Structure 1
Amino acid sequence: MIIALALAYTCTALAQQAKKPNIIFLLTDDHRWDALGAMGNKVIRTPHLDALAKRGILFRNAHVTTAICMVSRASLLSGQYMSRHGINDFNTDFKPAALADTYPALLRKAGYKIGFIGKFGIGVKNQPDTLFDYWAAKKEGQPPYELVDQSGHVIHHTDSVGKDITQFLERFAGKEAPFCLSVSFKAPHELDGNPPQYPVQERFKSLYENVKIPDPLTAAPQYWDSLPAFFRTEQNIGRDRWKPLLSTPELRQQTTRDYYRLITGVDEVVGNMVAQLKDLKIDQNTLIIFMGDNGFSLGEHGLEGKWFGFEESIRVPLIISGGALPKSLQGRSSNQLALNIDIAPTILSVAGVAAPRAVQGYNLLAVEQKKLPARKDFFYEHTYLGSPRLPKVEGVVTPDLKYMIYTEHGYEELYDNAKDPHETVNLAKRSSEKLRLEKLRRRYGELKKEVK
């Protein structure tokens, strides 16, 4: 009797483990919220991502808590604000105890096979390749776009990522253990240099060639001219990079086309991956999450890049899809205030793994199922480098309002994003906004303490 019970318990446990979903997290680099067909962009071609959005949850109000790659990636892995995880430069990596509490490490401990492909983006020398069952990432801060494969042929980084995805799925799909694959594209990040460039795959170079891309409203000179003197300098990295890429209408057209072309290249890889999941007959037990690590200004406010608190910088695309998503959540659009710190707890919850107490995000699916209340605001912080190159900025973002303060200078911004989505008018100096401004100042002080 005891043996029979033990066997029954073992079989039940194995069956439950077999039912655990596979999880794929896809991350693009510098991908702004509106560079996606599903988000209303009439120019860009992203049919495969649009299809994922249609079959899953499209989060229309997703943001990052810090708009720079290494900080955001640390937040994605840990579920923590920068103020807690402490990674705020390109050389700092996770200490062993902190790494053990990231979602890949916790899933491996729970029996998942884990893989990482692409740009890790946190630290350089001590990237945790030995943690993963499959690792396809060079230990470097910013990989080049043109790679040389084992046969000596040049391959674009996006295509290389696609090949590695194929190889991972061939090796780990359909096995007894579930898998979690984290994929990080370099695209559509610029290739750093003087001037920066956007190397595009040959087959996409003519895409969008005859399409006129509308100029951003705030690309007009008066919006740059309205910014404070400490910000409005040629030493500002955002302005410095704007010059060779976005300073004329012709440059804006070319840069934006190349930016879109790189995203379409990513979309192609996603389509191939989804087709392979179906061929392997694991698509119905796989959850797919797609997100950008931060946004990107393509000339808005006279800037190129991210870093600052403008909507183009901090708002990103986010999709949760796949056959493993509960049927009741498929095919919906969500306006909840979703964050990068929510990815780790969402993944852990789907896998049936408890999130560590230090995690500050929450399970996005539980909010959609009304098991948790949606957040009403969040804290934004970008303190890397400082003035004059990147003035430090912190603030509070709500669904309708945005308060930012440049902490080195005491300069405040208040935008009513519901009425002024392009952030054309700073309301901070208006006497009529005194009550709203004071309320957000108090909330800023509260959140600054809470996020540590």
Structure 2
Amino acid sequence: MWLPKTGNDEMRILHRGLAKAGIIFFLLVNAFVSLAQKPAPPNIIFLLTDDHRWDALGVAGNRIIQTPNLDRLASQGVLFKNAYVTTAICCVSRASLLSGQYMSRHKITDFDTPFSPSALAQTYPLLLKKAGYKIGFIGKYGVGTKHQPSTEYDYWSCTKKSQPDYEVLNAQGQLIHDTDTVSSDVQKFLGQFANQGPFCLSVSFKAPHELDGNPPTYVVQSRFKELYSDVIIPQPLTADPTYWNSFPDFFRTDQNIARQRWKPLLSTPALRAETVRNYYRLITGVDEAVGKLVEQLKALHLDQNTIIIFMGDNGFYLGEHGLEGKWYGHEESIRVPLIIYDPRQPTNRRGNKSTQIALNIDVAPTLLSLAGVPIPADMQGIDLLGNLKNSKPARLDFFYEHTFMGSPRIPKVEGVVTSDFKYMNYIEHGYEELYDTVHDPHETTNLAHNAMYTKKLKALRNRYKVLKQAAQ
């Protein structure tokens, strides 16, 4: 390299300058290479079913129901075997899903109360939008139905009713089932936003929720009406009248909504068998929609960078304890399916069946973490996938609360759920339940007045007070 004739000092200065320039050039090149190699933010699809109990999936051990597409997602992702909701009613649970907070903190306790503008801004879709995501919502929003945040979303296709109609007329005058309508809207969203950067789509099916009425009914897609017709539906252990009769007088009344709805749908083996078949048929319809979604992601070449999360908004009694519905603290009511499928994970991490306690309040922080977005301090949930790497579970118990309406229609209940015991307190009446869920998984024997469990009862009472305070 030719250099001009200079003195020694000038030469040293020149060399130092060239060296510094070389270092700066090297750093700039590395920065550009690093930027080019940085993976694109993942697309996220959150799928929610309505009244979907944890064991109504083939992968959960149900040998009757047909859910091959959801089972496949679970086999390639993570199935959380102990997933729960912190309040088993749709409006509150959906607010917890969006905000990552207990009802005690987000204060949405009914079907009419919307998020305040400041609270809405801290829900996972709006936080992802702020981070550059396109966001969409399809189906049943379910929070403050009269004040929906449709203008905040890039794509919005939600009913203004608190519950969608199962069948609506299309432009050609044909009746279209809600599950098919939702599936069609998913296809429209993906077609529109596939090439517009990262997206987060929240999809809320009405299925398998009953159609409210007197009596309630199940409206099934015509192609599934004969499915399961030749299958024998077994009676659950706690469908025996003994268990309904064991409830205290304030609970054991015909004014109890769960008992009212039980009568026309589950009060005989024949009624129960057909109700369960219809419930399963609606879930199989959702599974079909999930299969179509996965196929479209492949066709659009989005399948390798799109995370799919599937969950139920609360569980559902199908005759257990002489009840229909949700609300109370039994496993049938509060335990739900939860699958997280991330195609970016190495194959040796797929097919994991986690036994850690997962909650609906964990959905928002988990989604934000997957997108690389900071989790707000006010969120009370955890990053589920991040915590799978820990040798110890992130939580050993959680606070349960349900205070909508109250006695006699829906007696208010709060409590603590642990990995081996459950404590529930009907707060209007001071009535306590204590179940050993390891040795009594069907919750047949209330141990609250058993002298052998006095110490355990006292410990869970104290823990209940601590968790109740922390939930606020």
**Shift of residue 242 of structure 1?**
0.4
Question: Given the alignment of the two structures, is residue 59 of structure 1 paired with residue 80 of structure 2, yes or no?
Answer: yes
Query: In structure 2, what is the Cα distance between the partners aligned to 1:165 and 1:110?
Result: 22
Query: In structure 1, what is the Cα distance between the partners aligned to 2:33 and 2:141?
Result: 38
**Considering only CA atoms, is the larger Rg found in Structure 1 or Structure 2?**
2
Question: Given the alignment of the two structures, is residue 424 of structure 1 paired with residue 444 of structure 2, yes or no?
Answer: yes
Query: In structure 2, what is the Cα distance between the partners aligned to 1:334 and 1:297?
Result: 24
What residue is the counterpart of 1:253 in the other structure?
Answer: 273
Say whether the 8 Å CA contact 1:329–1:368 is kept in structure 2: no
Which SS does the other structure have where 2:279 is aligned?
Answer: helix
TM-score under structure 2 length normalisation: 0.93
What residue is the counterpart of 1:141 in the other structure?
Answer: 162
Query: In structure 2, what is the Cα distance between the partners aligned to 1:105 and 1:276?
Result: 25
Which of 27, 46, 59 is residue 48 of structure 2 equivalent to? 27
Question: Given the alignment of the two structures, is residue 195 of structure 1 paired with residue 215 of structure 2, yes or no?
Answer: yes
Q: 1:367 to 1:352 in 2, by over 3 A?
A: same
Q: 1:4 to 1:148 in 2, by over 3 A?
A: farther
Say whether the 8 Å CA contact 1:56–1:331 is kept in structure 2: yes
What residue is the counterpart of 1:312 in the other structure?
Answer: 332
Instruction: Give deviations 1:269-302, integer Å, cap 9, x for gaps.
Output: 0011111111111111111100000000000000
What residue is the counterpart of 2:106 in the other structure?
Answer: 85
What residue is the counterpart of 2:16 in the other structure?
Answer: none
Query: In structure 2, what is the Cα distance between the partners aligned to 1:421 and 1:244?
Result: 27
Question: Given the alignment of the two structures, is residue 206 of structure 1 paired with residue 222 of structure 2, yes or no?
Answer: no
Say whether the 8 Å CA contact 1:52–1:322 is kept in structure 2: no
1:161-200 alignment to 2 at 5 Å? 161-175=182-196, 177-200=197-220
Structure 2, unmatched stretches of 5+, are 1-20
Say whether the 8 Å CA contact 1:337–1:375 is kept in structure 2: yes
What residue is the counterpart of 1:42 in the other structure?
Answer: 63
Question: Given the alignment of the two structures, is residue 340 of structure 1 paired with residue 360 of structure 2, yes or no?
Answer: yes
Say whether the 8 Å CA contact 1:35–1:44 is kept in structure 2: yes
Structure 1, unmatched stretches of 5+, are none
Say whether the 8 Å CA contact 1:366–1:372 is kept in structure 2: no
**Shift of residue 30 of structure 1?**
0.1
1:45-124 alignment to 2 at 5 Å? 45-124=66-145
Query: In structure 2, what is the Cα distance between the partners aligned to 1:10 and 1:165?
Result: 36
Query: In structure 1, what is the Cα distance between the partners aligned to 2:309 and 2:345?
Result: 10
Which SS does the other structure have where 2:315 is aligned?
Answer: coil
Query: In structure 2, what is the Cα distance between the partners aligned to 1:358 and 1:38?
Result: 34
Query: In structure 1, what is the Cα distance between the partners aligned to 2:250 and 2:115?
Result: 34
Say whether the 8 Å CA contact 2:356–2:393 is kept in structure 1: no
Query: In structure 2, what is the Cα distance between the partners aligned to 1:172 and 1:238?
Result: 42
AA at the equivalent of 1:111: G
Query: In structure 2, what is the Cα distance between the partners aligned to 1:86 and 1:116?
Result: 22
TM-score under structure 1 length normalisation: 0.97
Say whether the 8 Å CA contact 1:37–1:44 is kept in structure 2: yes
Query: In structure 1, what is the Cα distance between the partners aligned to 2:384 and 2:348?
Result: 14
Identity level (%): 64
What residue is the counterpart of 2:7 in the other structure?
Answer: none
Q: 1:421 to 1:368 in 2, by over 3 A?
A: same
Q: 1:348 to 1:433 in 2, by over 3 A?
A: same
Question: Given the alignment of the two structures, is residue 437 of structure 1 paired with residue 465 of structure 2, yes or no?
Answer: no
**Shift of residue 151 of structure 1?**
3.1
What residue is the counterpart of 1:382 in the other structure?
Answer: 402
Instruction: Give deviations 1:161-182, integer Å, cap 9, x for gaps.
Output: 110111111111133x111110
Which SS does the other structure have where 2:147 is aligned?
Answer: coil
**Shift of residue 6 of structure 1?**
7.6
